[in-house]
Amino acid sequence: MKFQAVRGFKDWLPEDFFKYHHLMEIARNYLIRANFKEVKIPLLEKTELFMRTIGEVTDIVQKETYTFQDRNQDFLTLRPEATAGICRMILEHGLHVKPKPLKFFFIGPMFRHERPQKGRLREFYQIDVEFLGNLTPYYEVELLQIALEILKKPSNREDLFTLEINSLGCRECRPAFRDYLQVSLESERESLCDTCKDRLYRNPLRVLDCKQEGCKEVVKRLKPISDFWCGSCRGHFNILTGLLRALDRDFVFNPFLVRGLDYYVRTIFEIKGKGLGAQDTVCAGGRYDYLLKDLGGPDLPATGFAIGLERWALSLWGEECPEFLRKKLRPDLLFIPLGEEAKKEGLKVVSELRNQGLRVESLFEDKGLKALLREADKLGAKQVLILGEEELKEGVILIKDMQEGTQQRIKMDKLIGRLKKEQRVEDLSC
Residues that bind Mg ion in the complex, under the rule CB under 5 A: 260
Smallest gap from residue 101 Cβ to ligand ATP (A) = 21
Query: Which partner from the list ligand ATP, Mg ion, none does 306 bind, CB cut-off 5 to 8 Å by kind?
Result: ligand ATP
- 83 forms part of the interface with ligand ATP (CB under 6 A): no
- 166 forms part of the interface with ligand ATP (CB under 6 A): no
| Nearest to 142, CA basis, from 304, 29, 377 | 304
Smallest gap from residue 264 Cβ to Mg ion (A) = 13
Cα→Cα distances 338→35, 371, 405, Å: 51, 12, 20
Say how far apart CA 137 and CA 287 lie, in whole Å.
11
Say how far apart CA 279 and CA 284 lie, in whole Å.
12
- 81 forms part of the interface with ligand ATP (CB under 6 A): yes
Say how far apart CA 82 and CA 130 lie, in whole Å.
9
b/e burial code for range 287-321 (CB count within 10 A of at least 16 → b): bbbbbbeebebeebbbbbbbbbbbbbbbbbeeeeb
Smallest gap from residue 260 Cβ to Mg ion (A) = 5
- 311 forms part of the interface with ligand ATP (CB under 6 A): yes
Number of C-beta neighbours around residue 47 at 10 A: 17
Query: Which partner from the list ligand ATP, Mg ion, none does 79 bind, CB cut-off 5 to 8 Å by kind?
Result: none
Q: Print the binding letters for residues 107-126 with ligand ATP: x by CB under 6 A, - otherwise.
A: -----x-x----xxx--x-x
- 79 forms part of the interface with ligand ATP (CB under 6 A): no
* Contacts (CB under 6 A) with ligand ATP, residues 263-282: 279, 281-282
- 301 forms part of the interface with ligand ATP (CB under 6 A): no
Query: Which partner from the list ligand ATP, Mg ion, none does 164 bind, CB cut-off 5 to 8 Å by kind?
Result: none
Say how far apart CA 337 and CA 365 lie, in whole Å.
8
- 328 forms part of the interface with ligand ATP (CB under 6 A): no
Say how far apart CA 346 and CA 343 lie, in whole Å.
5
Dihedral sign from CA coordinates of 400, 406, 412, 413: negative
Among the residue ranges 227-235, 306-314, 373-381, 383-391, the one whose residues contact ligand ATP (CB under 6 A): 306-314
- 283 forms part of the interface with ligand ATP (CB under 6 A): yes
> Residue 80 or residue 137: which is nearer to Mg ion going by CB?
80
337 near 343, Cβ under 8 Å?
A: yes
Query: Which partner from the list ligand ATP, Mg ion, none does 346 bind, CB cut-off 5 to 8 Å by kind?
Result: none
369 near 336, Cβ under 8 Å?
A: yes
Q: In the complex, which residues of this chain contact ligand ATP (CB under 6 A)? A: 81, 112, 114, 119-121, 124, 126, 259-260, 279, 281-284, 306, 308, 310-311
